[in-house]
Structure 1
Amino acid sequence: MTHPLDLNQLAQHIKQWGQSLGFQQVGICDTDLSAEEPKLQAWLDKQYHGEMEWMARHGMLRARPHELLPGTLRVISVRMNYLPAKAAFASTLNNPQLGYVSRYALGRDYHKLLRQRLKKLGEQIQQYCGELNFRPFVDSAPIMERPLAAKAGIGWVGKHSLILNREAGSWFFLGELLIDLPLPVDRPQEEQCGRCVACITTCPTGAIVEPYTVDARRCISYLTIELEGAIPEEFRPLMGNRIYGCDDCQLICPWNRFSQLTDEADFSPRAALHAPQLIDLFAWSEEKFLRITEGSAIRRIGHLRWLRNIAVALGNAPYQEEVITALRTRQGQNELLDEHIEWALQQQLARRAEHRVEVQSPQKKRLIRAVEKGLPRDA
């Protein structure tokens, strides 16, 4: 390096390089998350992490990014928009015959894309400085990305525990680049949720147990993605047609009026996953599931849990003989799946009985009117 290193100028270069790589915002913060440690421990003590044992296994390491890469002095936090055009939220959620996939998972898995861009950013900084230790993270290590993003000025932590930005809402991915340079840090944004509790009251399963605290065991995203066993029966009717993740707390948030659409082609929805018929999805073979979800975040749950989730959604769908037939065709294939199919069949059969009563009721009403008027019963 022939020029003296101006850290203020370098910080500006980093933000420009980041935007040229497709990040909508780049912020810088120090590594001190000591204030988060008691909150994290309290959350773990209440077992809010459910079966995500890795959350407890790494313990306070999550709040100590400098231990992940010794010598780390700063964290570069980035965000990248993922909301596609024509997201079709309402038309999908309001049609119980369709399957709703969380909008972040409609396109290509974001982990590799963001990680590759962060690696390029690190290499650009390294080339500029001549020497640099860096390490990119995108959900790839125990690190508290949201508190870091808040410290770096990307946004504030909303009551649903997601990062909110006044110009962009919350429809964006986060990533981090750890570096060993003492760059100037950015100022955090002030929280601007105010008295609003829309995300808390709209959560279908009451997973936001208090402001800024989510009990993962109740969260539909956890139930459909992280949970490996049976979905507790109390939550099944509340899941509706959500078969992979849930966006309700974001959909209701007033700040998402300012959300920005993505310009990343990789985040464009795959046709087979965008407002698909539940019956069609339930018929997918494992080979078809793997083929269609190649390069998608959905693939990680596997075909069995995919079918489990769809079985619950079919149980919540309006009565149709085709649904009952579809459910019965997969009985006996797997014990876990059978449990959810049997529950779904019970729901469908109960609706069939109600449907038959409803069909007969107009005839009964005419009969009652006829008897009251003294008319012949076939009038």
Structure 2
Amino acid sequence: MLQTEKNTAFIKQLAAELGFDHCGIAAATQLDEDAYRLENWLNKGMHGTMKYMENYFDKRIDPRKLVDNAQSVITLLMNYFPAQQQRPDAPQVAKYAYGADYHEVIRDKLKTMLLRMEEQIGAVHGRGFVDSAPVLERSWATRSGLGWIGKNGNLIHKQAGSYFFIATLIIDLPLCYDGPVADYCGSCTRCLDACPTGALVSPGVVDGSRCISYFTIELKELVIPDHMQGKFENWMFGCDICQDVCPWNRFAKPHTEIQFTPIPAILNFSTKDWEEMTEAAFRQLFKNSPMKRSKFAGIRRNLQFLEKKGSPSSGNP
């Protein structure tokens, strides 16, 4: 047991050294309750056109199908709350996309973490995941005691809010495990009341097919449905409304990761600048940004949708 405690302490210290703000650990088991919720969510079509979410269901609910002999699931949180905000009269970009692509930044850190673990502990087999694999990150974060799932569907940390990237490291090493924490949302409904598209259908349940982030990023159609007209509150890429109104985010502090330093264009561009941007300029400015997921054509589509009659010309939730 002493060695298990030493290994656990080393891993948590290593996570802090690599720039992760919080680290929690849970035993690798099948997520039966989450499996039921996910299946119900998919059956209701709340994933919209994101058909990839139907794939690898068995792997999503059981980490042992992702890593042979998996014993521990390490969850890591990395703050992305920016010190600076966009100009409020410009088309808005979700804060997580202000800097470099978090997938690449965090993936490198996870690789380093695994290498350092092998150097210190010995043979450790595992895989790191960041948002783009069949892993229920928020479920593991709650099991690891890093927070609770708020009514807006986000993980909320009691001392730091919700502006965090969640990464997962599944390994075949037994460790000391953390326990879940209580839900502190109470009777607050600010996020439910603030969502302009009604995507928060009930506490903790997000209808992805009605979310502004879905329409501005995930939807690949050439046209955004007319029934969403005037409901985007000037959000061009993603949306932070349900986080911005959350009282727990009064504890959010600016991140210290240099790679998440905001791209100047995101902070300084006016509506006119965005509208006049060429595809070549977009590719150059955002080549290392999460915004490249929408591609230039998607950004143009979103801008045109915001410009239509009936859509607010400005706004900062």
TM range (shorter): over 0.9
Instruction: Tell me the residue number matched to 1:330.
Output: none
Distance of 1:5 and 1:310 partners within structure 2? 58
Q: Report how far residue 86 of structure 1 moved.
A: 2.1
Instruction: Tell me the residue number matched to 1:9.
Output: 6
Q: Report how far residue 179 of structure 1 moved.
A: 0.4
Structure 1 window deviating more from structure 2 (267-276 vs 101-110): it is 267-276
SS at the partner of 1:217? helix
Cα deviation code 1:252-274 (max 9, x no counterpart)? 00000111210111111111112
* Paired letter, 2:17: S
Instruction: Tell me the residue number matched to 1:165.
Output: 157
Distance of 2:60 and 2:142 partners within structure 1? 15
| TM norm structure 2 | 0.94
Distance of 1:13 and 1:132 partners within structure 2? 14
Q: Which one of 40, 56, 59 corresponds to residue 57 of structure 2? A: 59
Instruction: Tell me the residue number matched to 1:293.
Output: 286
1:310 aligned to 2:308?
no
Q: Which one of 105, 111, 114 corresponds to residue 119 of structure 1? A: 111
SS at the partner of 1:61? helix
Contact 2:234 2:313 in 1 (8 A): no
1:30 aligned to 2:23?
no
SS at the partner of 2:187? coil
Q: Report how far residue 275 of structure 1 moved.
A: 4.8
Instruction: Tell me the residue number matched to 1:19.
Output: 16
Distance of 2:125 and 2:24 partners within structure 1? 18
1:203 aligned to 2:195?
yes
Structure 1 window deviating more from structure 2 (75-84 vs 310-319): it is 310-319
Identity score, percent: 37
SS at the partner of 1:238? coil
Cα deviation code 1:278-327 (max 9, x no counterpart)? 222122111111111010000111111110001122222559xxxxxxxx
Over 3 Å counting, the alpha-carbon distance change for 1:262 and 1:237 in structure 2 is same
1:261 aligned to 2:254?
yes
Q: Which one of 79, 104, 119 corresponds to residue 77 of structure 2? A: 79
Distance of 2:133 and 2:149 partners within structure 1? 20
Distance of 1:78 and 1:176 partners within structure 2? 6
Structure 1 window deviating more from structure 2 (5-14 vs 20-29): it is 5-14
Distance of 1:113 and 1:5 partners within structure 2? 33
In structure 1, list runs of 5 or more residues that go unmatched: 320-379
SS at the partner of 2:168? strand
Q: Report how far residue 125 of structure 1 moved.
A: 1.2
Q: Which one of 233, 242, 247 corresponds to residue 249 of structure 1? A: 242
Larger Rg belongs to? 1
Cα deviation code 1:222-276 (max 9, x no counterpart)? 1100000121111121012110000000000000011121011111111111252
Cα deviation code 1:160-182 (max 9, x no counterpart)? 11100011100111101110011
How many pairs were matched up? 310
Cα deviation code 1:207-232 (max 9, x no counterpart)? 00011111111100011000001211
* Paired letter, 1:259: A
* Paired letter, 2:169: L
| TM norm structure 1 | 0.79
Distance of 1:293 and 1:236 partners within structure 2? 27
Instruction: Tell me the residue number matched to 1:277.
Output: 270
Q: Which segments of structure 1 move beyond 6 Å, counting only runs of 4 or more?
A: none
Structure 1 window deviating more from structure 2 (119-128 vs 17-26): it is 119-128
Contact 2:58 2:65 in 1 (8 A): no
Distance of 1:64 and 1:247 partners within structure 2? 30
Instruction: Tell me the residue number matched to 2:186.
Output: 194
1:44 aligned to 2:48?
no
Distance of 1:158 and 1:31 partners within structure 2? 23
SS at the partner of 1:132? coil
* Paired letter, 2:125: N
* Paired letter, 1:37: A
1:69 aligned to 2:61?
no
Cα deviation code 1:106-126 (max 9, x no counterpart)? 110111111111111111111
Contact 1:107 1:267 in 2 (8 A): yes
Distance of 1:135 and 1:297 partners within structure 2? 22
1:185 aligned to 2:177?
yes
Distance of 2:268 and 2:180 partners within structure 1? 38
SS at the partner of 1:274? helix
Q: Report how far residue 58 of structure 1 moved.
A: 2.2
Contact 1:84 1:269 in 2 (8 A): yes
Q: Report how far residue 5 of structure 1 moved.
A: 7.1
Cα deviation code 1:173-206 (max 9, x no counterpart)? 1101110011111111111111111111100101
Contact 1:137 1:175 in 2 (8 A): yes
